[in-house]
Homo-oligomer: A and B are copies of this chain.
Amino acid sequence: MKGVIVEQPGGPEQLHVTELIAPESEQGDLLIKVHNAAVNRTDIMTREGKSGYAKSPVIGIEVAGTVVDANGSGTFSAGDRVMGLVNGGGYAEYAIMPAERAMRIPENLSFAEAAAIPEVFLTAYQTLYWLGKLQKQETVLIHAGASGVGTAAIQMAKQLSDAKVIVTAGSERKLNFCQELGADVLINYKEQSFDEEVLKATDDRGVDLILDFIGADYWDKNLASITQGGRWVLIGVLGGGEVSDVNLMAIMAKYIQLTGTLLTPRSDAYKADLSNEFAGVVLPHMNDGTIRPIIDSVYPLEQVTEAHQHMEDNQNIGKILLDTDADES
């Protein structure tokens, strides 16, 4: 089968489509014919040699496809359309997925739409609900609102929690898209000081919850934007991972809860629990179209280098996908 490996740690040019032996599935696993895989920032870190989560030499952590061998799973059968997280091995024609975390693809969604769901929606769900404990009608600040996780978080915060959603993004195009998804307050971080805008939009109260993909660059402004007793979930460090001069007394005086998280290195059991809860709570909203996966672009597997480059250019709105059987279509 075709699959993408990393020649040696480095830039997008290190990605190579090569011929590999298809993976073998064991009891508890589904062997899946992959139709689409999605590109994630964690794949870039793996490519750069900065994370070593993947058990497979093939990178990629989420796929949508068709079950080829269910290995006696009581839940799935050959031919079922499934999506979900894989422990590496996603950028390939065949992949292995633990059956207990596989999710059935809603009938109205294509494989490409399905591949745009697992990583960003599960991350956003985990962040908003499991860690951020978002309550009905609270106010949430979502940075990088047009990103994959951002677009998922905006929709869930609105549809599931009727939250007031404040987003930041770096262009009018991105902000307009966030508004279409339901965002209430739009802040162009290149032109406005987001903490001042947040305080204006909340009558100086600040937000109940921050989804922070940025880290160091936004530290002081996030601290100024959060209300007393607020929750702050750190899920990325696009703006740097080292903060100098953290004022602990400010964290105490505001009773802030700061939680760091990553999804990819979590245990199989955690991913299964998260996937199952998400499938029960959110997939009905995808069936009726009130929440939808957001696709930026689809690249044939052979253009994986361009796909990574596109993510690094930071111009995408929603997910960047790979089509693993473009030849056949």
Contacts and interface: CB of A to CB of B under 8 A. Distances in A.
Interface in A240-295: 241-262, 265
Contacts of A259: 255-258
A257 B258 contact: yes
Contacts of A250: 260
Residue among A216, A237, A243, A252 with most chain B CB within 10 A: A252
Contacts of A247: 241-242
A234 B251 CA distance: 8
Contacts of A235: 252
Interface string A180-194: 000000000000000
Contacts of A254: 260
A258 B251 CA distance: 9
B257 A257 contact: yes
A260 B237 CA distance: 21
A215 interface: yes
A262 B251 contact: no
A235 B248 CA distance: 10
Contacts of A260: 248, 250-257
A258 B255 contact: no
Given A242-B248, A246-B246, A248-B260, 13 more contacts: A215-B248, A241-B248, A242-B245, A242-B246, A242-B247, A251-B258, A252-B260, A253-B260, A253-B262, A255-B260, A257-B258, A257-B260, A258-B259
